[in-house]
Every structure is written in C-alpha cells, then in structure tokens.
C-alpha cells in the first residue's frame, strides 16, 4: 500500500516569507497529523484532524501557522510569515483512528535564513 506522501522534501526561504507544505495520507486513514521536529528532539504535534475537522490544535502557533484538510483527504500546512525558529522538519502522519499507530511521511525539511 502507498505510504504517506509529502512535498516538497526540502525548502529554503528567507524570514518573513511564506511557505506551504502538502500531505496526502494513506488511503482510508481518517486521522491526519502534522508534527514539527526540531533538530535533536522528538516530534511535537502541531495539529490533528479527524476527517476534515480539527481535533487538537493546542500547540499550533495560530498567529503564523494555519492548516486545512478540505474534503477529509489531503492537507496543507502554511507558515506566514516564517521566523528563524521555524527551521525544522515538518512531518505528516496518518492513522485509521486516533488510537491506531501513526504512520509517517518522509517529511519536509524547512530552513529559514
């Protein structure tokens, strides 16, 4: 079965610019997650969707980050404007339901200069 697809793999932008990441989850997975992984740390949950509704966005910096999951399948995560501290790997994951194992994509490495 196809895994979680993410694009782009790498992105370099200047601070105050905007950037968007795309994720296509495993077919049939109702739950989708975006994680931020800073170098040397474990992933931190930014937002969790159940179908196209937000379940948890308590750690999403809403003044600059936004995410949507239209039609309950693909999802995009946007940062506007970016800060230097946003440099990280952004991981998308999906699962059949909230208590099933999360399966991850390859991630997008963002560098803000």
Taking CB under 8 A as the criterion, the residue among 43, 60, 79, 86 binding another protein is: 43
Of 32, 34, 102, 112, the residue at the interface with another protein (CB under 8 A) is 102
- Reported for 94-102, long-range contacts at CB under 8 A and 24+ positions apart, including other chains, are 94/4, 94/25, 94/26, 94/29, 94/31, 94/32, 94/33, 95/29, 95/31, 95/33, 96/28, 96/29, 96/30, 96/31, 97/30, 97/31, 98/31, 98/48, 98/50, 98/55, 100/31, 102/33
Q: Which of 17, 22, 56, 66 is the binder for another protein (CB under 8 A)?
A: 56
Using the rule CB under 8 A, is 22 a contact of another protein?
Answer: no
d(CA 77, CA 87): 14
Q: Does 28 bind another protein (CB under 8 A)?
A: no
**Count of residues that bind another protein according to CB under 8 A:** 22
CB of 7 to another protein, least distance (A): 13
Candidate residues 86, 107, 110, 112; the one interacting with another protein per rule CB under 8 A: 107
Query: 43 or 79: whose CB is closer to another protein?
Result: 43
Structure token pair of residue 3: 């895994």
Q: Which of positions 80-99 make contact with another protein (CB under 8 A)?
A: 91, 93, 98-99
């Amino acid at each position: 079965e196809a895994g979680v697809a993410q694009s782009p793999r790498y992105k370099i932008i200047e601070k105050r610019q905007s950037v968007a990441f795309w994720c296509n989850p495993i077919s049939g997975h109702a739950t989708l997650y975006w994680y931020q992984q800073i170098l040397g740390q474990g992933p931190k949950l930014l937002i969790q969707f159940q179908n196209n509704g937000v379940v948890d966005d308590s750690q999403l910096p809403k003044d600059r980050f936004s995410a949507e999951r239209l039609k309950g399948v693909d999802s995009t995560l946007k940062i506007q404007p970016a800060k230097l501290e946003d440099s990280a790997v952004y991981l998308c994951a999906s699962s059949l339901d909230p208590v099933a194992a999360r399966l991850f994509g390859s991630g997008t490495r963002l560098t803000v200069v």
